[in-house]
Each structure stands twice: as C-alpha cells, then as structure tokens.
Structure 1
Amino acid sequence: MYRQAVITFIDILGFKHLISTSTFEEVSQKLKTIRRLSDVDDQTDGESFEPKIVQFSDSIIRIRPLDSKANKESRYGLMFYEMLDLVHMQGELINHGICVRGGVSIGDVHVDDQTLFGPGFVRAYELESVYANFPRIVVDPALIQQLRKDKRLASTHNTLADEFAYISKNIRRESDGIYFIDYLRSFQTEIDKPEDIPVFFRNHKELVVKNVGGATQLNPVSAKYLWMASYHNSVIHEFNEEFWKREELEITPKEVPMLQSVEV
C-alpha cells in the first residue's frame, strides 16, 4: 500500500566518467564514502527519526513517511530535518570532491525489500532529472505549500511561523524561481570550528576551478560548474569582509575565464 512521505532523489554527478576512468577500488571507495555520508543504514526502516534510504548505482533515495512511528509519537519537524540532513550531506561530499543534484518532494510511495514505486517517487525523480540542471537539490514548491496544511511536517514545539523561519535558513530561491538546498550558506553554521569554514570554501572553490577553470566554451559539463561558481561567489559576497578574507575565497575570472564580464 502507498504511504505519504517526503521523498528525496539524489544523483551523483560525473559517475559515468568516474566508471570509465577509475579502477574498481577507486569507484568502490567513492561509493562507500557517499554511502557513509548519506547515512545509508540497511537497518533503518523509516519508522525512527532517520529516513529509509535506498542506494542503487549512482542514485540515492531517501524516504520519510509522515505516519512513521517516531512522527506519530512526537512530531519532530520532519521536513526541517530532511532539509538539514541534505545540507550536511552536500557539504560533507564537497569536502570529498563529490557533487550531487536532486529533488525533494512529497507524495505517495511504496517501498519494501524488492520494490520502490509511486507518484511521489516519480515526482522527486522528475525534479532531479528535469529541473535541477545544476549541482543543486531542488525543493518542490508543493512541499513548501503542504507545510501550511499538514501538521505532520512540522514540529510540535514550533509555531508555523517558527517552522518556516527554521526551514528558510536551509533553502534559497534561485533567479529562475526554483528553490534549492542552500548548502553553502547553511553548512557554515554546522561546522564546529570557525577556522574550518574557510577550508570548506577553499575545497568548494578548488572543486569548481578544477572542473571548469580551463573551459572556454559552454557545454553541459561547464554549465554545471559555472553555476556552482556563481553560487559560490554569491555566498562569499555575504561574508563580513573584515572577518573573512573574501578575496582569497572568491572565484575570479582569471581562475574561471567564463566568469569574465562583457563590460570593457
């Protein structure tokens, strides 16, 4: 039978290239890292505070049933914690040189030991494959709207206004109107040592420059990393310049020529 759930579909970028250019051991190690940082646990059934997680090839599916045992006993802020988990996952994967894209939605789904299907799963996959386009996890507007209607998505301890305030810290609306997980801004608050925050942004910068720095033509790969460069700089510009050495962390047109302005 179907159960209504928050469903996230995540795809690892560059997996085909990794397969074709790496040894079995290298691919296996990457998948183990992704599995660990995605909190994939074969014992998790989705009834606790943790989601049910399924991994196959380069895809990860996360399922949080609204009627889970944990959420029935104490509404813990199901939507907020899924957003926060995705912030952690993306941030940690960046530190390992791995980019992902995905979609998170709400809908009916069925999952057991052998099958996974349902309109909610199809919608999450559609968000990833059609609308994400870049290394971002798209948040379905329907999920945001449903938060106003379904108390099972929110915490017992918060007002609706509080819940929206907490969730808004983890998502951002792009210029194209699409909401996505704002991992660069949000992950900063999850890092234990303030001195490690610039390290994280340097890792992100190096990942972008490595993959698009020499590109002079727009193609499907360069477009993805060019978006990452623009997102990176937009967050860098929010820094307090006296506290952070912003000029060291910003991605410049010298490093990524495709960022060059048309102005002369």
Structure 2
Amino acid sequence: MISEVYAAIVSDAIARVRTMETQYQAGPLVWELIDLLHIRVEFLQSGNLVRGTLTIGHMHLGIGFEGPVFGPGLVQAYEMEEREVVFPRIAVHEDVIERHRRDRNLWREGHDFEDEERHLRNLLRQDDSGLHYIDYLRASLSEFDAPYLDWLGFLQSHKEFVEAGLVNNPNAMVRRKFNWLRNYHNAAIDEALSGFEQNATLADGLRLDELLEARRIEN
C-alpha cells in the first residue's frame, strides 16, 4: 500500500488528508508539499488566492473513506490558520518539521535525512518569525514542463495579478495581503538573480537577468 490522498469539504474549507504509515515509503511529506505547490500555482493562474496550513496528526475518515472527516490534525490546522496565517500562503506547522527529522515514515525509501532535508529546503521558505511556508515562486521552477520559459510566464502572470490586486482593492486588509505578495514576489526575483550566472541567456539569446528584472513589481 502506498500513500493516498483524501479530500472533503469542511464548512468553508477543503481538508486534504494523506496517509503516511504505508508498506512502501514513498516520502509522503515531500509529495504532499509538491501537490500543494501545484494546487497553489493552479489557483493563482485562475485568479484565486489560497490560505492554509499543513499539520500532522490523527484523522477520522469514515467507513470506506467517505467521511465525516474530523480529528486532532484538522483542529490543529484550523487553529493555526486562524492564529498565524494572515497572508495568502500555505504554512507548515513546526510539529511537521520536527516530526520529519525523526520519523522515517515521512521519508522516501532509500533516503537519508540529508536527502530529505534538501528536498524540504527546496520547497519551503521561513519568515522572520520562524514560520515555514511553501515557497511556490522559487520551487515551481523545476515543476514546469519547460522550466525557464514556463516559469518566466508564471512570474509574469503573478506580477500582473498582484499589481491588479494593489490597484483594484480599496480595502486596507486586502491591500496588506497584496503588499505581502509583492514583497514575496520581489524577494523571489532577487534570489533568482543572485543564483544564476551573470549574463546567463536562454536558448534564444535573451538575457535571463533582464527578463527577471522586467517581472519585478515596482513600489
């Protein structure tokens, strides 16, 4: 048996549950993060924001996995979202990070901790308060079919989405969320610029640094 995913609508939210204690260790945590990354990207491309949390804990799924869905894992996710997740991001509870260090059920078979840690570093970002969240702008680079071209296209659509949100939302609370997105977007641009070789070009000769700078959101 491999790790499986179940989803259910709970009030005004969608609860996803992934099994982890299986016969084959497929690395359920990393796969869940990758799935959530893709969900995040797809929602943004359709013009919608996502806010949520990833926790670890026991869950009741019902007979035949037909619900109802409830349990301490869901309670912890709800409480964390209400208390800590103000901005549109998918946060990861510190218990998940700590459990991952010591529980091989969360690792892929054949991996050591260094392998697993490297995957998490590529998928997660940590803010000044220590909160981890899915770094969808940076991590999505390797998830597109044509990494650089598709990723640059996604950055452009993300830029336009955030700029429209800043212009069209008079509500101060909503504007704060788009201001956070602008800062995150520009930080991802800066990190990409520092990570590529100077004067690096794509196959058509266009300079990568110029393409990235063109996708920066001005203050």
Task: Provide TM-score, normalisation by structure 2.
Answer: 0.86
5+ long unaligned stretches in structure 1: 1-46, 254-264
Amino acid at match of 1:247: E
Residue of structure 1 in register with 2:217 after alignment: 251
The runs of 4+ residues in structure 1 deviating greater than 6 Å are none
Q: Is 1:184 the counterpart of 2:137 in the alignment?
A: yes
**Please, which moves more after superposition, 57-66 or 170-179?**
57-66
Aligned-partner Cα distance in 1 for 2:131–2:171: 22
Kindly state the Cα deviation for residue 65 of structure 1 after the two structures are TM-superposed: 2.1
Kindly state the Cα deviation for residue 213 of structure 1 after the two structures are TM-superposed: 2.7
Q: Could you tell me whether the CA contact under 8 Å between 2:2 and 2:26 is conserved in 1?
A: no
Residue of structure 1 in register with 2:33 after alignment: 83
Q: Could you tell me whether the CA contact under 8 Å between 1:104 and 1:127 is conserved in 2?
A: no
Q: How does 1:42-191 map to 2 (within 5 A)?
A: 48-56=2-10, 58-67=12-21, 71-72=22-23, 74-112=24-62, 113-191=66-144
Kindly state the Cα deviation for residue 232 of structure 1 after the two structures are TM-superposed: 0.3
Query: Per the alignment, in what secondary structure is the counterpart of residue 58 of structure 2?
Result: strand
Higher helix share: 2
Aligned-partner Cα distance in 1 for 2:99–2:129: 22
Kindly state the Cα deviation for residue 107 of structure 1 after the two structures are TM-superposed: 0.9
Aligned-partner Cα distance in 2 for 1:50–1:192: 25
Kindly state the Cα deviation for residue 48 of structure 1 after the two structures are TM-superposed: 4.4
Aligned-partner Cα distance in 1 for 2:173–2:161: 17
**CA RMSD of superposed structures (Å):** 1.8
Kindly state the Cα deviation for residue 50 of structure 1 after the two structures are TM-superposed: 3.4
Task: Provide TM-score, normalisation by structure 1.
Answer: 0.72
Aligned length: 202
**Please, which moves more after superposition, 78-87 or 239-248?**
239-248
Encode CA deviations 1:27-69: one digit per residue, 9 max, x unaligned.
xxxxxxxxxxxxxxxxxxxx644311113564211111222xx
Higher strand share: 1
Q: Could you tell me whether the CA contact under 8 Å between 1:128 and 1:137 is conserved in 2?
A: no
Identity of aligned residues (%): 32
Task: Specify whether residues 207 and 57 from structure 1 end up closer, same or farther in structure 2 by C-alpha distance, changes over 3 A only.
Answer: farther
5+ long unaligned stretches in structure 2: 200-207
